[in-house]
A and B are shown apart, each in its own frame.
Chain A
Amino acid sequence: VTARRIGLLLLVLVMGGAVDAAWFLRQNVGVGASGCRVVRGRFYGPSFSFDAQDRRPLTEGATVEVENAFGTVRVLQGAAPELSVSLRKVVYRNTEEKARALSDRIHLQVAPGATLRVSTNRDELERSDPDTGFETHLDVTVPKGTSVVVRNEHGRVDVADVAAADVSGSFETVRVERVAGKAEVRARHAHVTVRDVGAALSLSARHGDVDVQDVPAGGTLDVEHGRITLLRVGAVTVKGLHGSLDAQDVRGDLEVHAAHMSVVAGDVSGRATIETSYDDIEVTRVSGEARLKAEHGGIDASEIGGPLSAESSYDDVELARVTGAVDVRVQHAGVTALDLMKGGRVAVLGGEVSVERFTGPLEVDAQRSTVQLQPAGPLADAVVARTTFGDIRLRVPEGSRMALEASSSGELTVDVPGLAVTREGGRATGTLAGGTNVVRLSADHGSVEVASALAAAASAADSRDVGDEDEDESADERRARRRRR
């Protein structure tokens, strides 16, 4: 026996084994009817269509329940006071004759009662022959003012112009629009679109994107593994996991409890309460209070009409134009704030702190941080800043008054016209313009510099001529970081 012959024998045996393995997989792993495969709720293979219809009177204000397993369900409003059901049966068989034989056994079922129930005899057929492969596409027309319940397992669902909707769908698009009353939507592995709902919306979705517009009564959303888009909605509560949320024009309070989800919100006319993790929060134009918490994520908030509470870790907090007092806590990252109208409190561990153009009393408690402070106008309120292993720099605008108490274990520089200080060891005290507002600056293992804002600006202009390139680069980096968010 030659090696060539042994090789050929092995080749034949391997090919035979592969064919057997493929056969085994087809027989034991495949799901669905024989001769066709089911992937994401669809059958594949040769198919034939057959139609059936049913009509019966239906009074206004009734409730219709539609149940389907494979196929599209469409519910629309009709002019006549009747229920009209068009059934398209798509039967997966190799020949039309076989398909017709199965189609003749598929019947539409309309069960009268307080709730009119529309379904097919699929369960009965599948019990008698588990290999039946067919889809039933239902077009249902109902009179005005009908409440609708739809349960579809594998197929698209469209519901429009009804009094109320309770819809479940999976593996295809779910679309609910123009609902006069409340809407309840549950979806899996499906893209969900909701438009124009008159009352509260309750939505639950897994593994699919959610797009909601024009729901003035707001509602609750529970979404996992999907992108959420909200536009022109009322007060809304969102529970999210893995994905993103973009909420714009929220006419009420926005409440978000998320994890592994980025949150962007704009034009919120109420309060914004947002918490997420491992991703960022970006809010713009919030009329009321903003309470933001991002674990392992950054926060970017601007144009906040009320007080702001922000808590983040491992990424920066950037604030701009906050009308109310701020309470910021950051770990392992820094804070940049512009235009804080009522001051507030900033606690930072391990990052830079820069608060510019602030008004009102301000307290900064930092560790391993450098602190830069510049009021918006003449200083008249208390300012307390403490840091360890970092410096403190305060720019004092013209016309300010204060009672300064500065201490430093490093360099201590006070250069403000009209402010005479008394030095004692690493401490300096003095009064400017008879001010009683305490300005207490303390740097442990760092330096303190108190300088006139004008002099500091002139000095900065001089140094900018030298270090322009570096400064531009850092501004670019900041912009890039915001864009990435």
Chain B
Amino acid sequence: MSVLFNLEALVVGIALIALGVVWMLANLGYLDLLGTLHRWWPTILMLWGALELARSLARRSLRRGNR
């Protein structure tokens, strides 16, 4: 198994779900769309970095197990 999961698809998928939820809540009047996006958009980068790190660690442990 060369790749544990498709990282780009995961990041895009989670980002789309988050954007949709925020947008819907804004339409329902629970929060301010622009303010929320402005405050929280860097979490996409953090999430992506975390997933990148997790995949790298998982790959290393997989290689050790194979040896």
Instruction: Please report A residues at the B interface, Cβ cutoff 8 Å.
Output: 4-5, 8-9, 12, 15-16, 19-20, 22-23, 26
Contact = CB atoms under 8 A, between A and B. Distances in A.
B65 interface: no
Contacts of A22: 34, 38
A70 to B, nearest CB: 24
B37 A12 contact: no
Contacts of B45: 12, 16
Interface in B25-43: 34-35, 37-38, 41-42
Contacts of A20: 38
Contacts of A23: 34-35, 38
Given A4-B8, A5-B7, A5-B8, A12 B44 contact: yes
Nearest to B37: A19
Interface of B is mostly: helix
Nearest to B38: A23
Given A5-B8, A16-B41, A19-B34, 10 more contacts: A8-B8, A9-B48, A12-B11, A12-B48, A15-B41, A16-B45, A19-B38, A19-B41, A22-B34, A26-B34
Contacts of A15: 41
Nearest to B41: A16
Interface in B1-55: 7-8, 11-12, 15, 34-35, 37-38, 41-42, 44-45, 48
A131 to B, nearest CB: 15
A230 B20 CA distance: 57
A9 B48 CA distance: 9
Contacts of A8: 8, 11-12
Interface residues of B, number: 14
A22 B32 CA distance: 13
Main secondary structure on chain A at its contact with chain B? helix
A16 B12 CA distance: 14
A16 B44 CA distance: 10
Contacts of B35: 23
Contacts of B38: 19-20, 22-23
B42 A16 contact: yes
Contacts of B7: 5
A4 B15 CA distance: 17
7 contacts: A9-B48, A16-B44, A19-B34, A19-B38, A20-B38, A23-B35, A23-B38
A28 to B, nearest CB: 13
B22 to A, nearest CB: 11
A133 to B, nearest CB: 16
Contacts of B48: 9, 12
A177 B8 CA distance: 69
Contacts of B44: 12, 16
A23 B40 CA distance: 13
A1 to B, nearest CB: 10
Contacts of B12: 8
B43 to A, nearest CB: 10
A7 to B, nearest CB: 9
A19 B19 CA distance: 12
A98 to B, nearest CB: 14
A285 B54 CA distance: 91
Contacts of A19: 34, 37-38, 41
A19 B32 CA distance: 13
A20 B38 CA distance: 6
Contacts of A4: 8
Contacts of B37: 19
Interface-centre pick from B11, B15, B38, B44 (highest chain A CB count, 10 A): B38
Contacts of A16: 41-42, 44-45
Nearest to A20: B38
Looking at A5, A15, A19, A20, the one whose CB has the most chain B CB atoms below 10 A away is A19
Contacts of B34: 19, 22-23, 26
Nearest to B44: A12
A20 B48 CA distance: 20
Nearest to B8: A8
B15 A12 contact: yes
Contacts of B8: 4-5, 8
B45 to A, nearest CB: 7
Nearest to A21: B38
A5 B6 CA distance: 11
A9 B45 CA distance: 8
A12 B42 CA distance: 9
Contacts of A26: 34
B11 to A, nearest CB: 7
A474 B42 CA distance: 73
B13 to A, nearest CB: 12
Contacts of B42: 16
B18 to A, nearest CB: 12
A174 B44 CA distance: 53
A140 B56 CA distance: 76
Nearest to B40: A19
Contacts of B41: 15-16, 19
